[in-house]
Amino acid sequence: MTTFADLGLSQKVLSAVTDAGYTTPTPIQAGAIPPALMRRDICGIAQTGTGKTASFVLPMLTLLEKGRARARMPRTLILEPTRELAAQVAENFEKYGKNHKLNIALLIGGVSFDEQDRKLERGADVLICTPGRLLDHCERGKLLMTGVEILVIDEADRMLDMGFIPDIERIAKLIPFTRQTLFFSATMPPEIQKLADRFLQNPERIEVAPPSSTAKTVTQRLVASNSKDWDKRAVLRDLIKEQTDLKNAIIFCNRKKDVAELFRSLDRHGFSVGALHGDMDQRSRTTMLANFKDNNITLLVASDVAARGLDIPDVSHVFNFDLPIHAEDYVHRIGRTGRAGRSGSAFSIVTRHDTKFLDAIEKLIGQKIEWLNGDLSTLPAPTENDREERRGRGKDRGRNKNASHKTDTRNGQNTTEETADRMEQVKQDRRSDKRTQNNNRDQRHNTAPNPANDDNQRRRNRYHDYDDGPTPVGFGDDIPAFMLITVNSKG
């Protein structure tokens, strides 16, 4: 059996790995570390939760034992799609590099530029960042990339989804052509393969599992539900209560708006719950993740910002409140459980309108997922009122002029009071969301000298979410003052 001592790592690194309690490398680590130590380019493909991060951190630590970094000239560069992933990689360097005296700089949005500048002035052996914030520092003249020896592109398929590829191409032009490039991803669609061919030179390809496969330690089940949000929330609550072995769980939604709504619903029903999505300021996101890792909260409602690569080792359950629109995201979501050989459970709520997404997921992972307690055919047939409501949802959402005349088709009872309560809750939620957005905007303005250059803002500009508001007509509510001036025409 292969051990870490057989891979060619330095004694300092081996000592740190042993102290961390590891003796046997995972397949991706055993395959990637030896050629990485030989300074070969790497194209690593492995399902999430198999130790991809250590497969580039450990050889980098060994290679960095010789030489020193100079001010504003990092020796290595690691690109991550999200702040949380970047922070997690920094934690790995601190854990495995405890016997090294390396300077590690973390460049992410939501943190003061001045603090990051001071770290760069001391010289960074390892620079871990999101693409947008890195380019911000380069444009401000605070970074010189000509000394980079190793470039790591992590979660490459997520980089593509979030629109970071143009930024990565710009960054690659700033780095010497003779660099070593390590390229990692859990999935390898054709677009990512073309990207790898562009950045890598005669790479060593390590593929330890079929692309887009799911871990065998995760039990997957589908749960049928009606399309209405309150029906789905009721199904989710019952599903959570039925899990006798639930320790903690991540619940995924497709939209940031749905994250907020589901969080409030679960909180009102007495669950221990938190929320995580891209519009939260960095301090709130870090605190929420820490509370979840420390078991201060049991349930974490999240958007896909939490799906990629976050190493929360002991998550017992994953619930897909919404089936992901992109099939690859399903692999990443359920990969939050069943990590490091542990068993886990993943439940996905499916409505009649999700069948095309389900077909794409099953085609991608190459297997049929079993249903729990009956499939969609066991649900009551949709009524004409349900179909009319769905057809009119886009133009009449948020308005209910005929609430006093509506009846509940399930039990025949008048639902005027229920509808009024729901509309009042919607109004309160909108006011609360508006205050939260204003507070987050003010906090970002206070913590970053140039918020317009924040990588989070770059991501929003490129990565369109599905909860964008309606397009304003004309100037909307803001009419320029000059258009209100009365002009006296002569003749």
Average pLDDT per block of 10 residues along the chain, 491 residues long: 91 94 91 96 82 93 91 94 88 93 91 90 94 93 93 88 88 93 86 88 86 80 90 95 94 91 95 88 84 92 72 87 89 83 91 93 92 86 58 47 40 43 56 58 50 48 42 55 63 49
422 CB-near residues (< 8 Å, 6+ apart): none
Grouping H, G, I as helix, E, B as strand and the rest as coil, residue 211 is: coil
- Whether the predicted model's global pTM rises above the 0.85 cut: no
Nearest residue to 379 (alpha-carbon basis) of 228, 480, 273, 157: 228
pLDDT at 281: 79
Burial state string for 65-95 with b = 16 or more CB within 10 A and e = fewer than 16: beeebeebbbbbbbbbbbbbbbbbbbebbee
How many Å apart are CA 490 and CA 50, to the nearest integer? Answer: 79
**Separation between Cα atoms, residue 447 and residue 38, nearest integer Å:** 42
DSSP string across 108-152: -TTS-HHHHHHHHHT--SEEEE-HHHHHHHHHTT----TT--EEE
Q: Which residue intervals of 299-454 are DSSP H helices?
A: 327-334, 355-365, 384-396, 416-447
Which residue from 30, 37, 77, 78 is spatially nearest to 51, judged by alpha carbons?
Answer: 30
Paired with 249 in beta bridges are 299, 317
pLDDT for position 401: 41
Helices (H) then strands (E): counts for the chain: 17, 14
Distance from C-alpha of 82 to C-alpha of 11, rounded to nearest angstrom:
32
Q: How far apart are CA 124 and CA 67, in angstroms?
A: 12
**pLDDT of the residue at 406:** 40
User: Which domains are delineated in the chain?
Assistant: 4-207 (3.40.50.300), 212-378+455-468 (3.40.50.300)
Quote the pLDDT of residue 96: 95
